[in-house]
Structure 1
Amino acid sequence: MVKKKSPANPASDPYREREQQKYDNPVPSREFLMDFIADQARPQTRDQLGRALELEDPDALEGLRRRLIAMERDGQVIRNRRGGYVPVDNEELLRGRIIGHQDGYGQFAPDVGGERIYISPRDMRMVLHGDRAVVRVTGTNHEGQPAGILVEVLERANKTLVGRFHEESGVGFVVPSNKRLHQDVIVPGDAHKNAGNGELVVVQISQQPTVRRQPIGEVIQVLGEHIKPGTEIETAQLIYGIPMEWPEAVQKELQRIPDEVTEADKQGRKDLRDLPLVTIDGADARDFDDAVFAEPKPSGWRLVVAIADVSHYVRPGSALDREARNRGNSVYFPRNVVPMLPEKLSNGLCSLNPDVDRLCMVCDMLIGSGGAIRRSSFYRGVMRSHARLLYDEVAAMLVDGDQKLRDKHKTLVPHLENLHGLYQSLRKARNRRGAIDFDTTETQIVFDDNGIIQNIEPVERNDAHRLIEECMLAANQATARYLHKQKLPSLFRNHEGPDEDRLDNLNRFLAETGLKLGGGDDPQPADFAKLLRSVQSRPDKHLIQTVMLRSLKQAVYHPENTGHFGLAMDEYAHFTSPIRRYPDLLVHRGIGHVADGGKGPTFPVGKDELLSLGEHLSMTERRADEATRDAEAILKCQYIRDKVGEEFNGTVTGVTGFGLFVELDELYVDGLVHVTQLENDFFRFDPIGHHLTGERTGKVYRLTDRVRVRIARVDPDERKVDLAMLGTLDPNGELEEAAEGGDRPAAKRGGRKRGPKGGVKKQPKAESAKSDDGEPAKKGRRRRSGSRRR
């Protein structure tokens, strides 16, 4: 049966008003075209679409041509061999991003969400990690995972990369340092720029890979044989493609932005300059994007969260906006930051510095005594921060009663006490919701004046950290509700619960420990929280907590709200950090659109654009994580390389088929005890129980076991710390048993094949000290104070 065509009436385009706001000569919206093409009996050429839509004006036809080209570039449609357009994102065709694996195969992460799709090594020859593509779902692979084939490459992610140059039999090639880039880059004889064999280089890709040929490039910079101290951050930036230079167009736009807030900019805004708003951050923070104030009300509390109004200065379509979107977020390395916005804005005009007028976007909430948000409003304001306070000094005033500090800030102490009282209500509400709280340790790298690491130390969170975190969570929750109520197209911060496979593995592990997670096949956050509370007195609580944490997914940005599992919130969005996160800037623009009298659905951003943008911003967040972990791994190797031969106690933080990752006490550095460095035995790996078991001796090594090890080798270039096992520790910290032959070189262990060598383990991303994000805090490093990932 032939499908009947829908009437082609562009006047019925539901997004017509939005298009008229954006363009002088609007053509049918992307959404309308997608629906129209999908509703036809067969693919439509551009000429057929023009006739069907009755577009006769040359300008309209040219607009249609450009729109279809843009839609094809963005992967919304593809053209068949006859020039007919076919919509993507149906049951078979999907667009998204390639995720490479060092073994040659890949995965495909669709923009629309859902399960990742397996890509064979053959198809992976045509792409590199990070490329955007269209994939056709073809069935499942041998492990039952969805499988697909590559249909079209939409966008190449790698224009330059870092790796080691080698030459064999007259052929030059670069082995990428990023292990997800699984193909070597061929470097012709006249393009190696005198790079020596084994040297670290930057190569520019001139020809992307095809099914028959590897990528081809030329060396544009020689970095040397080793990563020099002081260059580890720049190297990580190059390896992961972190944008570092500001385009000339951005520089020109900055020249037109004033150095101070003008009187004209303050007009039409609510004046909050007399309200004692304060910022509370870490000692090394430089960009202050949130200020808070609370006062008691008969039914609870009023909470005002004022956020820097970046949207006033960074306009849609400007060079500043394009570069901010490209960067996605600021990247906080141990010693410096690669900002999303130029310093003139991030540390200057947009930063809520004390005693100066600043433009802000305000979330004004009434919160009940039980901690629930009763109502909220959003408006543009002008404010003046009354103080720049530090976490430690606020905690000292509120918790420790430091009289000297209380006298110093005596006019603000009553307002801080109000904030503390509100925090206690919000904390109770958090517990009632069943939000998941994992007990983890964050660390920071401390440098001396010469940039040399002095030590790595844990960061203690106090009530001031938690106070600000709860205020930001409340504002973000209120924002998500507002977006939903106003039907504003925007990005939500979604965090889904464990999928079926992860949940099955978690339940099998818990069964081995005599525990059970409530909720059956659909556990809720409260079930996780209840189980965590029940194991606090058990000696294996850290093991249980670690496995539970690893069962959860990573939070992502998406235009469809699915709630936040970790926070036990039905709605959640990012509002509180537009200086350093593009999603927050987008949310501010939507709120401003309504504040200016517009209706939510007419906000000029389409759902399909949001899908691509959400995927891109989730990618830039992951890219920042990988780059900062890599820089920290190099720094930590440099820190401990003079400790080779020394012995340390430590904790097993990872168990794999090739060995144990151990975090060293006091140093907070991970290294690998390779399986060949254990007892003279054959060890079997149990991925469900997270342990290795010796077949002959019965010796078991589990996640979170306490052990004693010796540092055997350190290689900063490869981010590797090799450890030798000396034995396990009993509950009193005494060496329980020496490893039988475990301290011998691998070459003397019977010729057993050696697997992957170990290094500084790339830890899951740590939540920062001022966090309002959805994933529970993970053990590991800390960004600089004030660099909140929310």
Structure 2
Amino acid sequence: MPKPKRPAGLPSRQQILDFITATPTPAGKREIARAFGLSAQEKIALKALLRDMADEGLIDSAPGRAFHKMGGVPKVTVLRVTDVADDGTVRAVPESWHAETPPPLIRVKERKRGALALGDRILARTEEAGAGWIAHPMKSLARGEALMLGVLRREGDRLVLQGVEKKERRDFPVADAGGAEPGDLVLAEKTGRPPRIAARVTQVLGDPFAPRAFSLIAVHKHGIPVAFSEEALAEAERVAKQSLTGQKREDLRHLPIVAIDPADARDHDDAVWAAPDDDPANVGGYRAIVAIADVSFYVRPGSELDREARRRGNSVYFPDRVVPMLPEILSADVCSLKEGADRAALACHLTIDKAGAITGFRFARALVRIAANIAYEDAQAAIDADDDSSLRGDDDRILPALRNLWACWRLLDAARTKRAPLDLDLPERRVVLDEKGRIMSVAPRARLDAHRLIEDYMIAANVAAALALEGKKAPVMYRDHEPPSREKLVALKEYLATFGIEFALGQVIRPATFNRVIERARALAEAADDGADIVPQIMEQVLRSQTQAYYGPENHGHFGLSLGSYAHFTSPIRRYADLIVHRSLVAAFGLGAGGLTEDEAAGMARIGESISGLERRAMEAERETIDRYVAAYLSERVGEVVETRITGVQNFGFFATVEGIGGDGLVPARDLGTEYFRYDEARRALIGDQSGETYAIGQRLPLRLVEANPVSGALRFELPEGSYGAGGATRGKKPPRVIKRRGRPGNIRHQTRRR
């Protein structure tokens, strides 16, 4: 039902947003009405408009009913102090935060140094400063507390709280255990002022080493929503019963479309099909279909399901669980492309010529029936052996379908090679659990042609989605990846120079530029007498030089993939960005209900910023959980000497990871011996002043594992007995000094501190 027309004198949504952003004082309904000179009748309409804007996620209300932009900070608000650094810097977060992005960390400008402590609550005036916010305290409020996630531990006759953060190097005495026992994972309030900070347990979460506990730590730490509202669950049950018959859908159920996914996949967004093109104008080319779950048919703009999905931004995948973006009746059932079931799909039809170029595409809502759900390993085995007997079922269409997919993919692969995207072959760790959630193994995930095949079909569909929307001048939620900054390129140039690899800053930087660097590294590694492989470390540094990809309505291209237009289209079950692209396609091509609304189109920048932040949150949670599993797996090997590779070097020591398993651990500089060690920043190395002993990024060496903490995911190593400086020669003695050098060797020396 269309919204009623607003009175002519009523300001637009953008005018209201501009006003509440620009005004130096809190802006409530009265201030807005006065600023635009509204009549009594218009004030009634203004109230309805402000309510609409709040429902649409454009604005939020602050204390006193003043308004501010959603995702921003009210000009006057209540803050809670969450960090007091050693140098006295105070940071706080808004006590009330309803935006989908994590709350911003605000620097507080104290009137008197040391006046504020952890948990203090203040009424403050805030202002933007550069890329962040600062706050000016107005008055102190009743005390609040800062929450901390940790494990209770008995130390003598007292209980202490050990935080789950790697950077949290101290334990806190427990003032009130709240019924928790030593070994329990708990949420606790931190109270008091440094250095007398104590903890009071507010919630007992259970055994941190129990199955599924490591992901539970990440869920609590990052505030990832787990439970869906009753309204969303009821809505999911209702929409899941929608009939697919009688709709205007292209019927593709006769085609042997297959879904190729990880063996442990929880949901199936995508499926593929290909066949030689019978068009005489495309001899040697192929027709392909990338069928994607039609989530937009079930999750409509403005619905409770939509609000829940946007609040999450994406599904979060842990070794022991998935926290889905959508309720399971949709994500794991009705929307999931399951073998033998009729499913609603948004189909991308591709025409691919003999050179692998995409010469045509169209999008249609379709009805599909997946011929088979196949694991990557099984699909690869069937192709390699030209035998599908290892696959489930007796459908004789599967092997021919796989042959066609591979034949078409070889064309796409040739085009990809010509395009020369960034080629970083860095293995992904896979944690394998048994039925009880216990760790069976941790190892790099195999990289097969089957993985590359699906990846290239998905990239082709993503490119087609972006180009199709551009052709219609419709809104696009791009996946942007900008070129590296000059600052990072300068650092990379200095690093590569230590290996004798030239890197000219004046050249036009393309992905192929970095690929040539990697090829040069491979050549040097093959020619090395000591057998050292510098390729992984150089790949790591190339990766660190890249910018972070993000979502937004402005097209800045995808540098890593060497593509001018790129949008995520292929995973709407687990990414909100893809759902937005689906809605835009539905609206642009007149494919029925569930298309992008005007309000969504107007808020694309805000939505992109939000889901980009939520994606980073998910990535951090997933990475930290893997680290905890790795530490738990290695905890049984404490005391053993393991093969490692140095992954990072700082003036205080170096970090190493266990070969083939992962997990970063520190070797403190104080444990390297009694001599001076110089830190060569360009080479990223610690160098013994007398012996010349060197510890550099990429170097392989045996180390003794002395600590593996599953709660924090932290490891600690030391040199094995008999190695240079072994035995921690500084134990009980004065720690070694580290000479920090920038560029050429200098005379600046400083004593490293124990922490």
- For residue 711 of structure 2, the aligned residue among 701, 717, 721 is 717
- Distance in 1 between the 2:146 and 2:299 partners? 27
Gaps of 5+ in 2: 76-80, 94-103, 139-144, 526-533, 737-750
* Counterpart residue number, 2:368: 383
1:678 and 2:650 aligned: no
The letter of the residue matching 1:497 is: P
How far does residue 68 in structure 1 lie from its aligned partner after superposition? 7.3
- Structure 2 CA distance, aligned partners of 1:657 and 1:521? 32
Among 247, 252, 258, the alignment partner of 1:272 is 252
Please tell me the residue identity of whatever aligns with 1:742: A
Question: What does residue range 54-453 of structure 1 map to in structure 2 within 5 Å?
Answer: 56-66=41-51, 74=59, 120=107, 122=109, 136=127, 149-150=134-135, 162-163=149-150, 177-178=164-165, 193-194=178-179, 200-203=185-188, 219-223=201-205, 227-228=209-210, 230-259=212-241, 262-264=243-245, 266-297=246-277, 298-299=281-282, 300-402=285-387, 404-405=389-390, 410-453=396-439
Contact in 1 for aligned 2:586/2:593 (Cα 8 Å) = no
Local SS of the residue matching 1:51: coil
Kept after mapping to 2: 8 A contact 1:506/1:551: yes
Shift of 1:319: 1.8
Instruction: Quickly say closer, same or farther: Cα 1:166–1:64, change in 2 above 3 A.
Output: farther
Conserved? CA contact 1:517–1:528, under 8 Å: no
State the one-letter code of the partner of 2:216. E
Select 2:13's aligned residue among 30, 42, 64: 30
Q: CA separation of 1:50/1:78 partners in 2, compared to 1, >3 Å: closer, same or farther?
A: farther
Give yes or no for contact 1:679–1:740 (8 Å, CA) kept in 2.
yes
* Aligned pair partner of 1:744 in 728, 731, 749: 728
Q: 1:134 to 1:21 in 2, by over 3 A?
A: farther
Residue number in structure 2 paired with 1:48: 34
**Deviating more after overlay: 541-550 vs 577-586:** 541-550
Cα distance change on mapping 1:600 and 1:203 into 2, 3 Å: same
Whether the 8 Å contact between 1:279 and 1:387 is mirrored in structure 2 is yes
TM-score (norm 2): 0.79
1:479 alignment partner, one of 465, 481, 504: 465
The answer to whether the 8 Å contact 2:641/2:705 transfers is: yes
Which amino acid is the alignment partner of residue 247 of structure 2? Answer: Q
Supply the distance in 1 between the matched residues of 2:443 and 2:83 (Cα, whole angstroms): 34
**1:496-541 CA distance string (max 9 Å, x none):** 1211211111112222322233562651222222322333222122
Are 1:501 and 2:487 matched, yes or no? yes
Query: Unpaired runs of 5+ in structure 1?
Result: 1-19, 93-97, 109-116, 140-145, 728-737, 758-790
Q: CA deviation at 1:360?
A: 0.6
Q: What amino acid is aligned across from residue 283 of structure 1 in structure 2?
A: A
Contact 2:211/2:436 (<8 A) preserved:
no
- The secondary structure found in structure 2 opposite 1:256 is helix
Task: Return the match for 1:560 from 549, 554, 557.
Answer: 554
Q: How far did 1:621 drift?
A: 1.6
Q: 1:500 to 1:164 in 2, by over 3 A?
A: same
Identical columns (%): 34
Task: Encode CA deviations 1:1-55: one digit per residue, 9 max, x unaligned.
Answer: xxxxxxxxxxxxxxxxxxx946676965423544688999999931234426x78
Find the aligned partners of 1:645 and 1:185 in 2 and give their Cα distance. 28
| Shift in Å, 1:310 | 0.9
User: Secondary structure of 2:365's match?
Assistant: strand
The residue identity in structure 2 corresponding to 1:376 is F
- Hey, what's the Cα distance between the residues in 1 that align with 2:303 and 2:578? 17
CA deviation digits over 1:307-326, x for unaligned, max 9?
00111111222222211111
Match of 1:573 in 2: 567
Contact 1:488 1:603 (8 Å CA) reproduced = no
State the SS of the aligned residue for 1:653. Answer: strand
Query: Aligned residue for 1:114?
Result: none
Cα distance in 2 between the residues matched to 1:247 and 1:88: 22
Query: What is the deviation of 1:340?
Result: 1.2
Q: Which amino acid letter does the alignment assign opposite residue 149 of structure 2?
A: V
The residue aligned with 1:691 is: 685
1:114-164 deviations in whole A, cap 9, x for unaligned? xxx997574897999xxxx9975657xxxxxx77634899xxxx9965246
1:612 to 606, 611, 617: 606
Code of the aligned partner of 1:60: A
TM superposition shift of 1:249:
1.3
The 3 A distance-change label for structure 1 pair 343 and 501 is: same
Structure 2 letter corresponding to 1:706: R
- What is the RMSD of the two structures over their aligned residues, measured on CA atoms? 4.6
Match of 2:586 in 1: 592
Alignment partner of 1:501: what SS?
A: helix
Q: What code does the residue aligned with 1:162 have?
A: L
2: CA distance, partners of 1:484 / 1:537: 43
CA distance in 2 between partners of 1:100 and 1:560 (Å)? 36
Residue identity matched to 1:231: A
2:438 pairs with 1:461: no
Letter in 2 for 1:31: Q
1:262 maps to a residue whose letter is: S
Number of residue pairs aligned between Structure 1 and Structure 2? 688
**Aligned equivalents of 1:561, 1:755: Cα separation in 2:** 47
Residue 747 of structure 2 is matched in structure 1 by none
Give the corresponding residue for 2:522: 536
- Output the CA distance in 1 between the equivalents of 2:470 and 2:268: 28
Q: Taking structure 1 as reference, are residues 100 and 303 closer, same or farther at Cα in structure 2, changes over 3 Å only?
A: farther
**Most deviating of 288-297 and 444-453:** 444-453
Shift of 1:577: 0.5
User: What is the Cα deviation at residue 380 of structure 1?
Assistant: 0.9
Amino acid across the alignment from 1:498: P
Equivalent pair of 2:91/2:108 in contact (CA under 8 Å): yes
Q: Kindly provide the amino acid, as one letter, of the partner of residue 490 in structure 2.
A: D
Deviation of 1:485 after TM superposition, in Å, equals 2.6
CA drift of 1:564 comes to: 0.8
CA separation of 1:656 and 1:184: change in aligned 2, threshold 3 A:
same
Contact 2:482 2:559 (C-alpha < 8 Å) held by counterparts: yes
Kindly indicate whether the alpha-carbon contact (under 8 Å) linking 1:161 and 1:238 is maintained by their aligned counterparts in 2: no
What TM-score do the two structures reach when normalised by structure 1?
A: 0.75
Q: Which deviates further from its counterpart, 746-755 or 413-422?
A: 746-755
Any idea what SS the aligned residue of 1:470 has? helix
Whether the 8 Å contact between 1:227 and 1:235 is mirrored in structure 2 is: no
Mapped partners of 2:583, 2:173: distance in 1: 45
**CA contact under 8 A between 1:100 and 1:181: conserved in structure 2?**
no
- Which residue pairs with 1:491 in the alignment? 477
Task: Determine the C-alpha separation between the residues in 2 that align with 1:99 and 1:431.
Answer: 49
Contact 2:498/2:682 (CA < 8 Å) preserved in 1?
Answer: no
Matches of 1:640 and 1:87, distance apart in 2 = 44
